[in-house]
Chains A and B, each alone.
Chain A
Amino acid sequence: MRQQFRDTALRLAGMDDKLILLFGDISVYLFNDFSRQYPGRLLNIGICENTLISMAAGMSAAGFHPVVHTIAPFVTERSYEQVKLDLCYNRFGCTIVTCGSSFDYAWDGATHHCYTDLALMRMLPGMEVMQPGSKREFDILFSACYRNGNPTYIRIAADEHGLDLPVEFGRGVVVKETPGATVTVITAGPILKNVHTACSDLPVNVLYFPTIKPIDRDLLMRFADTKILVVHDAFGLFEAVNASCPAAAEYHGLPDDFCCHYGTLTDIRGLLGLDAAGIRQRAGAML
Chain B
Amino acid sequence: MNCMDALAKQIRESILRISHHSGHGHIPTCFSVVEMLCAVYKSIRHDPKNPGWKERDIFILSKGHAALGLYCTLAHFGYFPVEDVYAFGAFGSRFGCHADRFKVPGVELSTGSLGHGIGVALGMALGFKLSGSERRVYVMVGDGESNEGTVWESLMVAANRSLNNLTVLLDNNGSQSRCLPIDDPQAKLSAFGLDVVSVDGHNITAISRALEHSNSKPRAIIANTTKGAGCATLVRDMFAWHRRSPNAAELETLLGELNAAAV
Contact = CB atoms under 8 A, between A and B. Distances in A.
Same complex for A and B? Answer yes
A167 interface: no
Given A48-B153, A50-B150, A54-B154, A86 B119 contact: yes
Contacts of B156: 46, 48
A56 B123 contact: yes
A45 B101 contact: no
A59 interface: yes
A40 B130 contact: yes
B11 interface: no
A74 interface: no
A50 B124 contact: no
A89 interface: yes
Given A46-B156, A46-B157, A62-B128, A55 B110 contact: no
Give the size range of B's interface with the partner. Answer: 20 to 34
A62 B127 contact: yes
Nearest to A46: B157
Given A81-B113, A85-B110, A54 B150 contact: yes
A81 B119 CA distance: 13
B33 interface: no
Q: Mostly helix, strand, loop or mixed at chain B's interface?
A: helix
Interface in A40-64: 40, 43, 45-46, 48, 50-51, 53-64
A59 to B, nearest CB: 4
Contact of A58 (B113, B125, B133): B125
Contacts of B109: 61, 90
B140 interface: no
Contacts of A21: none
B126 interface: yes
A82 interface: yes
B12 interface: no
Interface string B101-140: 1100000111011011011111111111011010000000
B154 A51 contact: yes
A241 interface: no
A94 to B, nearest CB: 10
B120 A50 contact: no
Interface in B27-65: none
B177 to A, nearest CB: 26
B127 A58 contact: yes
B150 A51 contact: yes
Contacts of A96: none
Contacts of A43: 126
A127 interface: no
Contact of A59 (B108, B110, B123, B150): B123
Nearest to A84: B113
A91 B127 CA distance: 17
A51 B157 contact: yes
B42 to A, nearest CB: 24
Given A53-B119, A62-B123, 5 more contacts: A62-B130, A62-B131, A66-B123, A81-B113, A89-B110
Interface of B: 101-102, 108-110, 112-113, 115-116, 118-128, 130-131, 133, 149-150, 153-154, 156-157, 160
14 contacts: A20-B130, A46-B157, A46-B160, A50-B149, A51-B122, A54-B120, A54-B122, A55-B154, A58-B127, A59-B127, A62-B128, A62-B131, A64-B130, A81-B113
Which A-B residue pairs are the 3 nearest by beta carbons?
A58-B123, A62-B127, A54-B119
